[in-house]
């Protein structure tokens, strides 16, 4: 992995060339969920549906586990993986809560209180210094 | 001759569209958001543009990873609301303006902006939510709309400077169109937000308000801000703000601020909104 300046931003994965190459089939699977028939077929047999895409086993498992951060690490893009959330009837805010490791109620309250502060969240170096 | 009279900037949060579509606009949560657009609805009803050039980004609706155009211009007669996984939004079909759109495509390419020409495209919340915020829920949109889609999903998006200069080229192209048309340019997306990973929910009021100030007063300086600053300070999806620079580039160096609004939160996002008028062009 070539080191990029944005790798220093904590809790953030930019969908760059490297991620896009890695995640192509995962994201194209997500794209297929734009059609109602495909959503039904996926819900009826998730494993079988995933097997029709040339995804890695780890990518398939991350989808089955609804491991939202795992999907991102394996090349998923949020605008694509959110189509799985839509298929599950989950909102963006619900999966954002899961990705940041808090309950939906806690996340919603954080947003009402003005959102996550950028202080302490700008860089890994800054965080390491405390 | 065609002329650009004003620019509108606004966030295009999908939950705003869902709130309106599901009759929740009057709820305590949403009322302050829609209140910020009351003056805007009156403004645009008086302004009566013939055409809106609407700068937005597609969110894996019309463009998947098969084809990722950096700048795409919609030249079709009409554009249907996209099914984003819950069925299409119950909003009118968007009527295009093929004559002006094709003129823009030609002139922008002559001007060294190599646009992708799109003749068939569904339009998602990125385009329809700004229309809903400005026009409410009419049976038909009251003017023609030319979609101008910018890639901000696949990193890197175009630079702020490139976007600002595209706006200037749009101004030149509109000014050379012979038909007498009143044109308003919309720049949409932002403001600070991050939808992914452990840093999801990031909001940066200071960054957002400094961005608004500089977009109005010193857009050249804002255009020089690198991607990394947006991502670090305004979140991975905050980078959508570069699209506002296209709108700003299409206006005069000095503009009149007709309206300014900022509110946190709408779902995961900071809502920002500006109406900027070209002096002497109303």
Exposure pattern of B152-180 as b/e (b: 16+ CB <10 Å)? bbbbebbbbbbbbbbbbbbbebbeebeee
Q: How near does any CA of chain B get to the CA of A130, in Å?
A: 17
Please say if B263 is a catalytic residue: no
Contact between A111 and B201 using a beta-carbon 8 Å cutoff: yes
Domain boundaries, chain B: 3-281
The pLDDT tens digits for B49-102 are 999 999 999 999 999 999 999 999 999 999 999 988 778 999 999 999 999 999
Tally DSSP H helices, then E strands, for chain A.
9, 0
The residue annotated as part of the active site, out of B103, B125, B263, B273, is B125
The 3-state DSSP class for residue A3 equals coil
Strands B269-277 and B3-10: antiparallel
Q: Tell me which architecture the domain covering B3-281 has in CATH.
A: 3-Layer(aba) Sandwich (3.40)
Q: For position A126, what pLDDT does the model report?
A: 84
Report the candidate in B275, B206, B274, B269 with the shortest Cα–Cα distance to residue B238.
B269
Contacts for B111 with CB less than 8 Å, ≥ 6 apart: B169, B172, B173
Q: Is the pTM of this model over 0.90?
A: yes
Give pLDDT tens digits along chain A (130 positions). 678 999 999 999 999 999 999 999 999 999 999 999 999 999 999 999 999 999 999 999 999 999 999 999 999 999 999 999 999 999 889 999 999 999 999 999 999 999 999 999 999 988 887 6
Strands B78-79 and B269-277: unpaired
The residue annotated as part of the active site, out of B97, B103, B193, B273, is B193
Please say if B193 is a catalytic residue: yes
The pLDDT tens digits for B250-282 are 999 999 999 999 999 999 999 999 999 999 765
Chain B touched by A91 (CB under 8 Å):
yes
Contact between B153 and A15 using a beta-carbon 8 Å cutoff: yes
Q: For position A127, what pLDDT does the model report?
A: 84
Whether the ipTM is more than 0.90: the answer is: yes
The pLDDT tens digits for A49-70 are 999 999 999 999 999 999 999 9
Contact between B200 and A30 using a beta-carbon 8 Å cutoff: no
Contact between B267 and A114 using a beta-carbon 8 Å cutoff: no
Q: Which of chain B's residues have a Cβ under 8 Å away from the Cβ of A115?
A: 192, 201-204, 264-265, 270
């Amino acid at each position: 992995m070539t080191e990029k300046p944005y790798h220093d931003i904590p809790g953030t994965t930019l969908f760059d060339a490297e991620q896009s190459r890695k995640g192509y089939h995962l994201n194209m699977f997500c794209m297929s969920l734009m059609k109602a028939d495909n959503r039904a077929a996926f819900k009826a047999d998730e494993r079988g549906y995933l097997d029709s895409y040339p995804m890695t086993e780890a990518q398939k498992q991350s989808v089955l586990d609804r491991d939202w951060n795992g999907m991102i690490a394996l090349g998923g893009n949020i605008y694509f993986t959110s189509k799985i959330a839509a298929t599950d009837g989950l909102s963006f805010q619900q999966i954002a809560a899961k990705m940041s490791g808090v309950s939906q109620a806690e996340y919603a309250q954080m947003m009402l209180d003005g959102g996550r502060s950028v202080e302490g969240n700008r860089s890994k170096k800054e965080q390491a210094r405390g | 001759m065609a002329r650009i009279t004003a620019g509108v900037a606004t966030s295009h949060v999908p939950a705003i569209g869902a709130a309106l579509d599901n009759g929740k606009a009057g709820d305590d949560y949403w009322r302050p958001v829609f209140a910020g657009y009351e003056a805007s609805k009156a403004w645009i009803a008086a302004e009566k543009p013939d055409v809106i050039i609407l700068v937005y980004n597609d969110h894996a609706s019309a463009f998947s990873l098969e084809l990722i155009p950096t700048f795409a211009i919609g030249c079709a007669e009409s554009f249907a609301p996209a099914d984003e996984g819950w069925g299409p939004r119950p909003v009118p079909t968007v009527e295009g303006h093929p004559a002006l759109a094709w003129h823009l495509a030609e002139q922008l390419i002559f001007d060294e902006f190599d646009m992708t020409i799109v003749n068939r495209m569904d339009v998602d919340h990125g385009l329809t939510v700004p229309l809903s915020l400005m026009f409410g829920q009419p049976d038909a949109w009251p003017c023609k709309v030319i979609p101008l889609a910018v890639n901000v999903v696949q990193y890197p998006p175009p630079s702020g400077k490139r976007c600002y200069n595209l706006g200037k080229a749009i101004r030149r192209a509109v000014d050379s169109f012979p038909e007498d048309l009143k044109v308003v340019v919309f720049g949409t997306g932002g403001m600070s937000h991050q939808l992914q990973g452990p840093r999801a929910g990031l909001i940066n009021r200071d960054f957002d308000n400094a961005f608004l100030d500089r977009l109005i007063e010193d857009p050249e300086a804002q255009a020089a801000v690198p991607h990394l600053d947006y991502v670090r300070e305004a979140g991975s999806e905050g980078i959508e703000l570069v699209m506002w620079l296209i709108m700003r580039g299409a206006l005069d160096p000095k503009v009149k601020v007709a309206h300014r609004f900022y509110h946190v939160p709408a779902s995961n996002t900071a809502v920002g909104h500006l109406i900027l008028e070209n002096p002497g062009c109303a």
